[in-house]
A and B are shown apart, each in its own frame.
Chain A
Amino acid sequence: MKNFIRLSTGLMVAVMLTGLWPRTAVAVTDEEFKALQDQMQKQGQQIQELQKGREDDQKEIQHLKQQLGDTQATTVETQKKVEQTQKTAADAAAAVAKVQPVGPVPSEEAAAQRNFLITGGMDVLYQKHESGDGSFFLNHFNPILLFRATDKVLAEGSLEMSVQDDGTAEVNLEYAQIDYLFNDYVTFIAGRFVLPIGVVREKIDAAWINKLPVLPLPEADDTALFAENDIGVQARGAFHVCDPVTLTYALFVGNGPGDTGANNMPTFNGGASANGKPNGGGRLALFYPWEAHDDIELGVSGQTGPYSPDGKQSFSVFAVDAALHLSQNFEARGEFIQTWQENTGLPTTDREGWWTQAAYKLAGLNLEWPIINNVEAVVRVGEEHQQGGHVYEYDLGLNYHITNTLIIKGAYSFFQSNLHNFVNPDGDTLDLNKNAFTLQAVYGF
């Protein structure tokens, strides 16, 4: 600032001495002197304005410097905060790592591709008993619901819907269970499951699989010797004992049958335990396929446990089953079932039943007749001994396979029995000594 004033004053003096002074010396009028004075005043004002502008600039520079200092201070503080946050996050991660369980719960569901599927079957039949009126029946609409939660977990259930004689619809829960594939050799099941006794209930009960429109006596609704299902847990699986022979097993614990039902039989409703004591049982079988479509299977199965309210009387089942396939066209099956029912103050009630069945697809004759090639002939022989009587059954059937799962089945069943007033599990009184003609349309989907 001082330098600037000195410079300005010096200039003014120099101007006066070099420029103005000689002219004045020559001749300076008052007007010229006044003009010069005005000019000097203007220059002085301009100098002052410049000084003021410079001062303002200095102030602005100071202000900006202060702002820059503040910003730098804020940046440093923010950086400190970031470092502090990073440290806190690292400490938290280390703490989380320390509290992780030793064996974390598996979470396969996170990566699972879930799938829901409805399969099953349905059948409609026309049945006419000897000396009775024939009628159509919506026998079963049987959807099976499959929900795959993971590659190891399947929730499945089967609804059995039918129309009763009075027109009302009935729905039964045939089974509802969770399957867990524990490993290659064991599958655990929990829920209401079909009992692994014999093979009919588990494997050939579906109408589109059963070769005849009626079930064998020991598993038929009216003359069943043991329960269809139970609530409990089960372990089952299969493995090759020597290639290609397979050993299959099923072991279960369940509530067991209930208190005495119709015909002095236990109730087979598969509900709650009658006495708090579990039933147990299972099936063991060998399956030997020596070629595709050529195989034999032999199995033994059973169940035992208390059924009375006090838990002192037991109900037991023993079954032997066999199946044989020779080519795609011939199948033979058979079962023998024995039951023992203890009674309070009375001898044990024994019941038994057996059946054998053979089926042959006429395609095996190589007649090259399209209609004949789709026909299958079936014959079944069996009998059952109930308390107070017996029933013998002889069935002749013909099946026409429209597709692999759409079948028309016709059968004539000869029954010989001294049980003319037999009370079935539903409490209905039946004459079992009546032949029957049955025509059935069945579809598996």
Chain B
Amino acid sequence: MNRFNSSRMFRVGAGLAVVAAIAYAVASVALARDAEPRPKKKLTGEQLYAINCNRCHAERYATERTDAQWKTVMIHMRTRAQIPAEDAKAILKYLQENN
């Protein structure tokens, strides 16, 4: 096996470097924004829906399911996507109010 040849190490290193660079750039922008004092506000169910659902898949329309179905889906997604309980409850409320 040639596991430790320089070419492979370079590729792995380059890949991780790209990810690290992107993370650094994003964190820098975010921290720069955070440096400006902003009033802290509680996120709405709609915002939490956009944050937690869109990170994996395209957002589904609230009208696609009934209240009972959304409750079932949210238990599934809270478990699978590891959404914090309070966020999951706010998202469910948003979906049930807009279906």
Binding site for B on A (CB under 8 A): 113, 115-117, 119, 144, 146-148, 151-152, 154, 156, 179, 181, 183-185, 187, 189, 202-204, 206, 208-209, 236-240, 243-244, 246, 248-250, 285, 287-290, 292-298, 322-326, 328, 332, 334, 336, 350, 352, 354-356, 381, 383, 385, 387-388, 390, 401, 404-405, 444
In this assembly, does B36 line the interface, its C-beta being within 8 Å of a C-beta of chain A?
Answer: no
Q: Which residue of A lies closest to B42 (CB)?
A: A243
A404 contact from B18, B26, B59, Cβ within 8 A = B59
List B74-89 residues whose CB lies under 8 Å from chain A.
75-76, 78-86
Q: Which residue of B lies closest to A116 (CB)?
A: B72
- Please determine whether A385 and B72 come into contact, CB atoms closer than 8 angstroms: no
Q: For A240, what are the chain B residues with a Cβ–Cβ distance below 8 Å?
A: 84, 86
- Please determine whether A115 and B72 come into contact, CB atoms closer than 8 angstroms: yes
- Please determine whether A290 and B34 come into contact, CB atoms closer than 8 angstroms: yes
B3 contact from A156, A294, A350, Cβ within 8 A = A350
**Chain B 1-25 near chain A by CB (<8 Å), digits 1 or 0:** 1010000100110011011001100
- Please determine whether A115 and B71 come into contact, CB atoms closer than 8 angstroms: yes
- Please determine whether A323 and B72 come into contact, CB atoms closer than 8 angstroms: no
Q: For A350, what are the chain B residues with a Cβ–Cβ distance below 8 Å?
A: 1, 3
A203 contact from B3, B27, B80, Cβ within 8 A = B80
User: How many angstroms from the CA of A392 to the CA of B43 in the assembled complex?
Assistant: 43
- Please determine whether A146 and B3 come into contact, CB atoms closer than 8 angstroms: no
- Please determine whether A289 and B51 come into contact, CB atoms closer than 8 angstroms: yes
**Chain B 42-60 near chain A by CB (<8 Å), digits 1 or 0:** 0100010011001111111
User: How many angstroms from the CA of A322 to the CA of B17 in the assembled complex?
Assistant: 12
- Please determine whether B1 and A388 come into contact, CB atoms closer than 8 angstroms: yes
Q: For A285, what are the chain B residues with a Cβ–Cβ distance below 8 Å?
A: 82
Q: Known contacts A115-B71, A115-B72, A209-B57: does B23 contact A385 (CB below 8 Å)?
A: no
Min Cβ gap B80→A in Å is 7
Q: For A236, what are the chain B residues with a Cβ–Cβ distance below 8 Å?
A: 79, 82
A295 contact from B51, B76, B79, Cβ within 8 A = B51
If A184-B85, A404-B61 are given as contacts, then 8 extra A-B residue pairs at C-beta distance below 8 Å, sorted by A number, are A115-B69, A154-B79, A236-B79, A238-B84, A244-B51, A322-B23, A350-B1, A356-B19
User: How many angstroms from the CA of A206 to the CA of B56 in the assembled complex?
Assistant: 10
- Please determine whether B15 and A336 come into contact, CB atoms closer than 8 angstroms: yes
Q: Which residue of B lies closest to A196 (CB)?
A: B82
Q: For B61, what are the chain A residues with a Cβ–Cβ distance below 8 Å?
A: 404
Q: For B47, what are the chain A residues with a Cβ–Cβ distance below 8 Å?
A: 292
Q: Known contacts A146-B73, A179-B75, A336-B15: does B51 contact A292 (CB below 8 Å)?
A: yes
**Nearest 4 interchain pairs by C-beta:** A184-B85, A292-B50, A248-B82, A148-B72
- Please determine whether A356 and B18 come into contact, CB atoms closer than 8 angstroms: yes
Please name 17 pairs of A and B residues whose Cβ atoms are closer than 8 Å in the assembled complex, sorted by A.
Answer: A115-B71, A117-B65, A117-B72, A148-B68, A152-B75, A154-B76, A179-B76, A183-B85, A184-B86, A249-B82, A295-B51, A296-B27, A326-B26, A332-B19, A332-B22, A334-B18, A356-B18
Q: For B22, what are the chain A residues with a Cβ–Cβ distance below 8 Å?
A: 324, 332
- Please determine whether B51 and A390 come into contact, CB atoms closer than 8 angstroms: no
- Please determine whether B76 and A187 come into contact, CB atoms closer than 8 angstroms: no
In this assembly, does B30 line the interface, its C-beta being within 8 Å of a C-beta of chain A?
Answer: yes
Q: Known contacts A151-B71, A383-B11: does B83 contact A238 (CB below 8 Å)?
A: yes
- Please determine whether A244 and B43 come into contact, CB atoms closer than 8 angstroms: yes
User: How many angstroms from the CA of A202 to the CA of B55 in the assembled complex?
Assistant: 13
Q: For B85, what are the chain A residues with a Cβ–Cβ distance below 8 Å?
A: 181, 183-185, 238
Min Cβ gap B17→A in Å is 11
Q: Known contacts A115-B71, A238-B83, A404-B59: does B54 contact A296 (CB below 8 Å)?
A: no
Q: Which residue of B lies closest to A203 (CB)?
A: B56
- Please determine whether B73 and A381 come into contact, CB atoms closer than 8 angstroms: no
- Please determine whether A405 and B15 come into contact, CB atoms closer than 8 angstroms: no
User: How many angstroms from the CA of A352 to the CA of B13 in the assembled complex?
Assistant: 13
Q: For B60, what are the chain A residues with a Cβ–Cβ distance below 8 Å?
A: 404-405
